Structure 1
């Protein structure tokens, strides 16, 4: 699994497209800003890109008052199992870092920010490769 994070509109998706010779309109690219996060049985290609991980976190926070981290850890585990089941599969997760800046006043938005940070930590620990993209510049951290 490959996790790519960084600021909003900093070039994460563009970098992934270049790195994997992929495009947003390819069959295995899922934009979580526009659609629900698919289950692994909907992955029909060997390269799957999930763009907008923070949107998945937001949905989980809205649907669960407690246990959000556990729900997301189960999702992460299912992705890792899907990737390891067949040689050559690659899952790329793209998530915008929403943890910098002013802490939101609204409780739900604070929970979203906190849970995103925890989920991104869990994702980074589980990933084989982690890259940060800021201002179009990539930095490998794992």
Structure 2
């Protein structure tokens, strides 16, 4: 799994498209910016890109699960299991860094920020590669 993060509008998606040669027939791109929730059928692809993870986190929180962190971890493990099921599969996750700046006053926004940070930490620990993109330039962290 490859995790790509960085600030909003810093070129993460463009960098991933160039790095992985997307679009291509064996790839699927799922965007949390275009739908509220990821309903993903991975079965026919060898490359899956999921962008907008921060929106995915917000949706999980709004679903009022007893433990959003547990729910997020379950999704992550499902995605990683898909990648490991067959040789040549690649999962690329793209998440915008929302942890910098002023702490939100609204409780829901604080929860969103916290759970997104924890989810990104979990992703980073499980990822084979982590890149941060700032102004279109990549810096490999892992």
CA 1:27 to 1:62, structure 2 compared with 1: closer, same or farther past 3 Å? same
Structure 1 residue ranges (4+ consecutive) displaced by more than 2 angstroms after TM superposition: 23-27
Structure 2 segments unaligned to the other structure (5+ residues): none
1:109 has 2:109 as partner: yes
Q: Counterparts of 1:111 and 1:59 in 2: how far apart (Å)?
A: 12
How far 1:125 sits from its partner (Å)? 0.4
What is the 5 A alignment of 1:118-137? 118-137=118-137
Superposition TM-score, scaled by structure 1 size: 0.93
1:138 partner SS: strand
**Which segment is superposed worse, 95-104 or 21-30?**
21-30
1:37 has 2:38 as partner: yes
> How many residue pairs end up in the alignment?
140
Q: Counterparts of 1:21 and 1:27 in 2: how far apart (Å)?
A: 9
RMSD: 1.7
CA 1:120 to 1:91, structure 2 compared with 1: closer, same or farther past 3 Å? same
Structure 2 counterpart of 1:75? 75
